[in-house]
Amino acid sequence: MEKIVEVEEIIRLLNEDFVREIEATLIYVRNAFVMDQCDPSRVTEDIAIDEMRHMYWLADLIVKRGGKPSMEHKELEFGGDDLKSQLERQIALETEGIEKYKQQIDAINDAEVVGVLKHILDEEKRHRKEFRMRLERIDE
Ligand SMILES: [Fe+2]
Ligand SMILES: [Fe+2]
């Protein structure tokens, strides 16, 4: 497979990631407030802060390459009214991120970008595991 080297294309991909991180941050902040159980709410709030840190890392990569971070996020999907549905939505967001980051790590030829994306990928895997543990406790 031919690697992506054009800076414009790398900026475009990083902006897709940046927007996904904005959406995750906003959804998790809101869901942390509406969850009535303390533990999943705390975990969701902590992870929202990780997602905001991912926004900073991505924005830094974008700006260093001459781009501007895009703030054009889609309409937010929070999941349903119950904890189970919200956790399922959050797990789906993490899975989407994990798939995208894996593809980009394979495709992009820029060592600094790939290094940051690998670090973010590890955190998204941990997030998904944290949310799955809370979901399993509901199903018990
Ligand atoms: Fe993230
Ligand atoms: Fe995450």
Q: Nearest ligand to the C-alpha of residue 28?
A: 2
CA–centroid distance, residue 140 to ligand 1 (Å): 28
pLDDT at 139: 67
- Please give the distance, rounded to the nearest whole angstrom, from the Cα atom of residue 90 to the centre of ligand 2: 8
- How many A from CA of 54 to the centre of ligand 1? 5
- In sequence order, what are the beta bridge partners of 4? 108
Angle between the 111-139 and 38-64 helix axes, to the nearest 10 degrees?
Answer: 170
| pLDDT tens, the chain, 140 aa long | 789 889 999 999 999 999 999 999 999 999 999 999 999 999 999 999 999 999 999 999 999 999 999 999 999 999 999 999 999 999 999 999 999 999 999 999 999 999 999 999 999 999 999 999 999 999 66
d(C-alpha 139, C-alpha 135), whole Å:
7
What is the biggest distance separating any 2 CA atoms in the chain, rounded to whole angstroms? 50
Contact 74, 64 (CB under 8 A): no
Distance 47 CA to ligand 2 centre (A): 6
Contact, 72 vs 19, CB < 8 A?
yes
pTM attached to this predicted model:
0.95
Please give the angle made by the CA atoms of 121, 122 and 127, to the nearest 5 degrees: 95
Which residue reads 């781009």 in tokens?
A: 67
CA–CA dist 41, 29 (Å, integer): 9
CATH class, range 7-139: mainly alpha
| 111-132: b (≥16 Cβ within 10 Å) or e | eebbebbeebbebbeebbebbe
Residue 140's pLDDT is 63
50's tokens: 């990780």
